[in-house]
Amino acid sequence: MLVTALHSHGLIVGGQETIFIEGAKGVGVIAGRISESDARRDAINQAKIEALRKAGVTEHLSSYELLFTSESDHDYSEFFSSDVQSELQGAVQYYQIVDEQRKLNPYSNLFEYEVTIDATVIKYTTRPDPAFITKVKGIKGVYDRGETLSFSVHSTKDCYLSIFNITDNNAYLMYPNQWEVHQEIAAGETKEFPFGFVEYYLDNSSSEPEVNRLIFVFTKEPVYFFQYEDEDQSTDAEIIFSWIYSITPDIRRVDYHTFVIR
What pLDDT, in 10s, does the model give residues 49-92?
A: 899 999 988 777 777 777 777 776 777 777 777 677 767 788 88
Query: Nearest to residue 22, comparing CAs of 116, 94, 91, 122?
Result: 116
**Helix orientation angle between 36-54 and 61-73, rounded to the nearest 10 degrees:** 150
Looking at residue 51, what is its pLDDT? 94
Model pTM score? 0.81
The low-confidence residues of the chain, meaning pLDDT below 50, are 3-13
The pLDDT assigned to 242 comes to 83
Q: What CATH number labels 2-13+128-261?
A: 2.60.40.2550
Express each pLDDT in 164-190 by its tens digit: 999 988 999 999 999 999 999 999 999
Amino acid occupying residue 106: P
Task: Output the CA angle 237-87-238, nearest 5 degrees.
Answer: 10
Residues facing 18 on adjacent strands: 122
How do the domains of the chain map onto residue ranges? Answer: 2-13+128-261, 16-124
Integer Cα distance of 224 and 87 in angstroms: 25
The one-letter amino acid code at 131 reads A
What is d(CA 238, CA 217) in angstroms, rounded to the nearest whole number? 15
Can you give the pLDDT at residue 220?
97
Q: Burial level of 7, CB count in 10 A (0-12/13-18/19+)? A: exposed
What's the CA gap between 143 and 202, in Å, rounded? 8
Q: Write out the chain in H/E/C secondary structure.
A: CEEEEECCCCCCCCCEEEEEEEEEEEEEEECCCCCHHHHHHHHHHHHHHHHHHHCCCCCCHHHHHHHHHHHHHCCCCCCCCHHHHHHCCEEEEEEEEEEEEEEECCCCCCEEEEEEEEEEEEEECCCCCCCCCEEEECCCCEECCCCECCEEEEECCCEEEEEEEECCCCEEEEECCCCCCCCCECCCCEEEECCCCEEEEECCCCCCCEEEEEEEEEECCCCCCCCCECCCCECCHHHHHHHHHCCCHHHEEEEEEEEEEC
